[in-house]
Structure 1
């Protein structure tokens, strides 16, 4: 009859026990290092990267320990069991494994980083954290207009980096093109309106234009992409009711809403000061009076 001591002294049991103790020691050491880094490093960005680096090193060490624990001489006796066990674990935890692989992909390929504004799996927001399983976003949009925060924190599996497109608003070119339509009447001085709109836009957006030009030149050197016009441009489109002056300009991806608001205010003030040479258009309705009918009936 086998005694409990025989089970404890079994080489396989001892090997597994040692493996678990080493894994526990590594996890405790990682937690200790993270606390030390949090206290010693004041810069938020550097502290975040250091803590993530420690986590990744810990995962690598644990993986190596597991591989070393099973690469022993007696492994031949357990190859079938280990193979079936690994296949079952892989199938059951395929989403988890894909998420962990996604975290390595995000870290090394630099798909996005904390602080970037991205859209992934139909959800748009600012990245506020990336761990081994999830990417955490501060959501923008949904029931609020433009690029305002909704107030919801969204966690998205890192596995989605392999499943669909990722739209990054700030990775290499932290600017976006936006448009503003100015509507004027047909009896307005179109040439004067174009001149004022372009002057105000060029003056107001000069800093954005200068900053984005340097970034765009880096983009052209790094990617296979044609050069683009960074300065504000105009396009005229007549309609049945008014003339639409379409202003296209570049702005910071996080300041799109406020830029459009302030730019529109300045343009409207300039157009209103033209003594009715330029008139802003709006939808109008003309009501026609039905003529009176004079009916005579013959006897």
Structure 2
């Protein structure tokens, strides 16, 4: 007489555990001794219970970091005031700290074995160095910008072919509010329709790697003033001394306060860098041409609102020259007389 056997008793303990897991869900199951993830009967390679736990924990970890970053940004905006540099460095510190914590957390979760971590890091580094050269250069440029104090948010710069005010900075790109160009610079690329250093309305993103290829011109970081020049042609027949005095008075009157504010800034600049003495008071230079006497006036102006300053100076100069009966010379021709005209007719006709 044969003895009946229990099929469950003949199965190994791992098989029984797999069977119990399979019965837990018909569509998503864990099968085999390694408990591989199976979706709809398809076993996913490399996805077991441990990998799924790591994936879920990674998602929770990144969501927590994202929420923490948003909370810290809100606190910095709420209690940091309206100072641009304070807000800029607060945002950069939060972004950099969040990034480092995210990288360390990711590797800590997925690479519990140091040997696997070293191997994976070597492969990733080699792939990045070959395939993502621009990305790596942009990321390195971000740290150079922060460490080298190349510029801050709010500075007026020229970076590559773009000039304007920096309004944002991230790991890969610098965001610039573009400004126009003077007529002498209109031939530069890209094309520009604004004939002054005022906003054009375009927001331009420039790769941070640009700092390794081209020089970066900063208009306002250490000395927020620039020297400007205006040219005035005066006719030979007019009183050039009177014209020079009128122009000088108008420029001095409109730039006196600017010179007073710039004097301590220039003193601090001389302490930091080896520069020669610079005259912040208006100065005139005369040049004789074939058509007129040209006066070039050099004066100090703030980085912002230069066009408005030149407008005020030009209006005051024109009022003064008109009152003195002095005009601005131009390349026009004046016909002062005509030769006599002789008309002959044919009598026979």
Partners of 1:243 and 1:197 in 2: CA distance: 14
Residues 88, 152 of structure 2: 8 Å contact kept:
no
Structure 1 residues 33-52: aligned runs within 5 Å: 33-43=72-82, 45=84, 46-52=86-92
TM alignment of 1:6-45, pairs within 5 A: 8=48, 21-43=60-82, 45=84
Rg larger in 1 or in 2?
2
TM-score, length-scaled by structure 1: 0.85
1:55–1:188 CA distance, 2 compared to 1 (3 A): same
Cα pair 2:111 2:117 within 8 Å, conserved:
no
- The 1-side partners of 2:263 and 2:103 are apart by 46
User: Secondary structure of 1:205's match?
Assistant: helix
How many residues align structurally?
293
CA contact 2:236–2:293 (8 Å) conserved in 1 = yes
Match of 2:150 in 1: 111
After TM superposition, the score normalised by the length of structure 2 is 0.73
Residue number in structure 2 paired with 1:285: 333
Deviations 1:104-159 (A, max 9, x none): 22223221111111111111111111122221111111211111211111111222
In structure 1, C-alpha distance between the alignment counterparts of 2:81 and 2:168, rounded to whole Å? 17
Q: In the alignment, is the contact (CA less than 8 A) between 2:128 and 2:136 conserved in 1? A: no
Q: Which segments of 5 or more consecutive residues in structure 1 lack a partner in the other structure?
A: none
Instruction: Give the structure 2 partner of residue 5 of structure 1.
Output: 35
Higher relative contact order (CA 8 A, sep 6+): 1
Structure 2: 5+ residue runs without aligned partners? 1-30, 37-46, 181-191
In the other structure, the counterpart of 1:261 is 311
Q: Distance in 2 between matches of 1:85 and 1:269?
A: 70
Query: Partners in 2 of 1:82 and 1:106 — Cα distance?
Result: 26
Q: CA deviation at 1:15?
A: 6.3
The alignment's C-alpha RMSD in Å is: 3.0
Structure 2 match to 1:203: 253
Q: Report the CA distance shift for 1:119/1:241 in structure 2 as closer, same or farther (over 3 A).
A: same
Distance 1:75 1:65 in 2: 14
Please state how far the C-alpha of 1:175 moved relative to its aligned partner: 0.7
Q: CA deviation at 1:75?
A: 3.5
**1:163-174 maps to which residues of 2 (within 5 A)?**
163-174=213-224
Q: Work out which of the residue numbers 198, 207, 226 in structure 2 matches 1:176.
A: 226
Shift, 1:52, TM fit: 2.7
